[in-house]
Every structure is written in C-alpha cells, then in structure tokens.
A = this chain, B = another copy of it.
Amino acid sequence: MAGSYFRRRMTAPATFSLFVRQLPPSRGFLVLAGIDEVCRFLERFGFDEDDIAYVERTMGLSPDVLDALRGLRFTGDVWSAREGSIVTADEPLLELTAPLPEAQLVETALLNLMTFQTTIASKAVRCRLAAGDRDLVDFSFRRTQGLESGLLAARSAAIAGFNSTSNVAAAARYDLRATGTMAHSYVQAFPREVDAFQAFAADYPDRTTFLVDTYDTADGVRSAIQVARELRGHGPLAIRLDSGDLGALARTSRGLLDSAGLTAVRILASGGLDEHGIERLLSEDAPIDAFGVGTKMGVSADAPYLDTVYKLVAYDGRPVMKLSTGKRTLPGPKQVFRRNDGDLTGDVVGLREEPAPDGYHPLLECVMRDGAMIAPVTPGDAVRAARTRCAADLTHVPHDNGQLVEPEPLVVSLSASLTALAAEVAAGLGIPVS
C-alpha cells in the first residue's frame, strides 16, 4: 500500500482514529495504556538497509519508492487521552494525522501496542477493585508473550494500581518496586525446608518471604516461625501460600503466627488468582495481606483481546467513512468531551474543531507534533502520572460499571455536528445512514 501511495504521490495528510468497537462482555470500562510506548515507537520509526534490501528483493518495488521508504520518518501529529484514563468503546483513544504512507505503515504496530497494554491494564484494574487496599504484586512475566511484553505488562499493571512486580527488569526500566519471594526450587535445593528459610533470612533479613507450601503448608509455617523468631527485630517478614485452599490455609497460618507473637508477619497468597479469586477470599475474610497475580492478569484470561481498530477518517481534507456490515465508522477528526466533574457516564464524541459543551473538557490532547513528543518524561514519571490518573478516574466509576460480574458498559453519545457529518458523508456514498 505504501509503495502504491508513494508511486501515486498520495502523500497528503491522513487522519486515522484508533478506538474499540465493543467492550468484552466482562468489561464495564477500560484503562488506557500504551500511549507512551506508541510515541516512543513513532519517534524511532524507520527502515534500515536490511529492511530495504528485503522488500526490494521480494516485492520488486521501484527505486524511487525504495528511496522514499529509506528516508521515511514519522512526521505527524498524535492526539490521545492520557494514559491511565478510564475510557470505553466507540470513543477515539488516539488519533494520528500524518502523510498517508506514514500513517498507514504504523497501523499494525499502533494497534498491537495499544490493544495489548490496554487489555492488561483493564484486567489489572479489576484486581485492584477486588483487592481494596491490599497489596497486589505482578507475577505475570512467565505467562506474557515474550520478554519485552513482560516489561510492558508489568508497566500496565502498575498503571492500574499494582504495588510491585517480581520482574526486576521492569522495575529497573519503569522505576517500580521489585518484590520477590523464593521459588520452590530454592527450598528443594537445601536438605531441609528450615535450612532454606534460615539461609534466605540470613542473606536478606530485611525482606524475606517464606514460601511455605513446598512439602506441607502447616509444617512450612512452623519452620518459618522458628526462623522468624531467630530473626526478631528484622523485617518486614511474610509467608507465601501458593497452593491448596488459600482461605483455609491463610486462617491456619495466621493463627499459628499470632500464637507465636508474630502478628506483624504478613501473608501473601498466589496461585491462579484473578479478581474473582481475590474477591472470594476477601468475602470469606481470609486474613491475606497481599496477592500475587500472574497468569490470568498477564494474558487477561477471560478477555484476552480488545476489538480495537485504526480507521481512516479523513484524507487530504476529505472526511471518509466505512460502511461494512457491522463495522461502520464515523468520519472526520474527532474529540471526546468529558464532564468537568469527572463523571464518566457523559462522554460526548464530537468533531475535533467543535467547542466543548458547557461543563465539559476535551479528553484528547496533542502528545506529538511534527513527529516529536511534546512533553517527553522519563519512563518512571510516565507510569506515575498514568497511575495517578487511573486512581482519580476510578473514584468516578459508577457501581454498575465497576462490578466484577456482568458489568454494564460505559456508553458515549455523539454530538449533533458529528451526527450531521456522518449523514452527509454517507449520503455522498449513496448509502442512507441508519
């Protein structure tokens, strides 16, 4: 496509709109994530000589097209909602305006980065809703799709309110708190469980979490108590439960710890948990202080993808739309207007140039201009800002949209100007707007 555009000098500005067509049934809202990564991708976008040689060899592109690809950089503008914002289907999350070949070539990467990270953040936030003020630890690295994605998943979870990650590389890159426990293999590598506990506590007296279920959980807790008593004065200490009936084991363990006077030793639970598992445990008053959440968050197991699309809405000043059955799109560069009181139920999707209605403000801000990020910040600061935004928006999620089972989806309305433009463009295509 890009070759064809270059050959035909179709390099006028094109605006694409990235949005979600429909929420998964188990989601009442989404947490936007991936914007910072998208901007960094766009800043470094380009083809190297190996890329050019490959397309030359396999696609037979002409020398002038190859030259155009060789020199290609992203030179456009990007508007987006802030990372961490609570958003929903049918409202643009990001709009990009650039010469058509550039805008087209970045499509798949943008969909990939935005879909994945928003998917994970939108799952992770449900764990945060279920966990209340308990700690949440990201354990997802072993289940994400590849190594780089493990870093991005940890970042998405942090935006949604996770307190720490077991992924040390992610902690380093995004200035997160790294917390780890020990593996069963650590326990097994010592002759006895208590030997492993003593060794770890001696080496890390200020942050030991005893994994107590390698052989028998109650015995494991007793070994942890023995070692914790030897360490008295150090801490914080915790035990970790990773199998069996976590609620019952937590009660037993809490009893044993309290009887030993170790009321400050915390209990971390893990093992196949998601928001529903956390809610169930807390509804039965399981004395659990922290949850490790891995697999089901790292792949968003119940809703592993979002129906995101990236659609051309204007080319060379001409608003365009698509009429495919069930996949209609609305024309023109857009804006989302959100109520100033933070109410998330009143979003209005309108045209970019129309003024905000009274009591509303624009949600999309210009984050890149002429191919450069407008206000680049460190990776750590970007996560902190997104996390703050998410926490603020969370206070405005209505009960029906925020419940964990069968949530109502947040919905949006269209401005009169946008509705009129859609009717006009559809009429020009000879199709009545429904």
Residues of A within 8 A of B (CB): 1, 3-5, 7-8, 10, 14, 16, 41, 50-51, 54-55, 58, 100, 104, 107-109, 111-113, 115-116, 141-150, 152-153, 167-169, 171-172, 178, 180, 182-186, 188-189, 199-200, 203-204, 213-217, 242-244, 295-296, 298-301, 304-305, 308, 311-312, 315, 320-327, 429, 431
Contact = CB atoms under 8 A, between A and B. Distances in A.
A104 B189 CA distance: 11
A236 to B, nearest CB: 16
A269 to B, nearest CB: 14
16 contacts: A54-B168, A54-B172, A55-B168, A58-B171, A108-B150, A112-B141, A112-B144, A112-B147, A116-B144, A143-B305, A188-B320, A243-B324, A243-B325, A298-B305, A299-B305, A301-B304
- Oligomer: number of copies: 2
Nearest to A100: B189
Contacts of A4: 186, 199-200, 203-204
Given A4-B200, A8-B199, A186-B4, A324 B116 contact: no
A326 to B, nearest CB: 6
A189 B10 contact: yes
Given A1-B182, A4-B186, A112 B150 contact: yes
Contacts of A51: 169, 172
Given A111-B143, A112-B145, A215-B322, 18 more contacts: A1-B200, A4-B203, A5-B189, A41-B147, A54-B172, A107-B142, A108-B142, A108-B150, A112-B143, A116-B143, A145-B145, A149-B149, A188-B312, A188-B321, A189-B312, A213-B324, A214-B324, A301-B304
Nearest to A318: B191
A311 B214 CA distance: 11
Tell which of A50, A112, A113 has the most Cβ of chain B within 10 Å: A112
Contacts of A182: 1
Contacts of A115: 142-143
A324 B212 CA distance: 9
A183 B104 contact: yes
B142 A152 contact: no
Contacts of A169: 51
A326 B10 CA distance: 61
B243 A104 contact: no
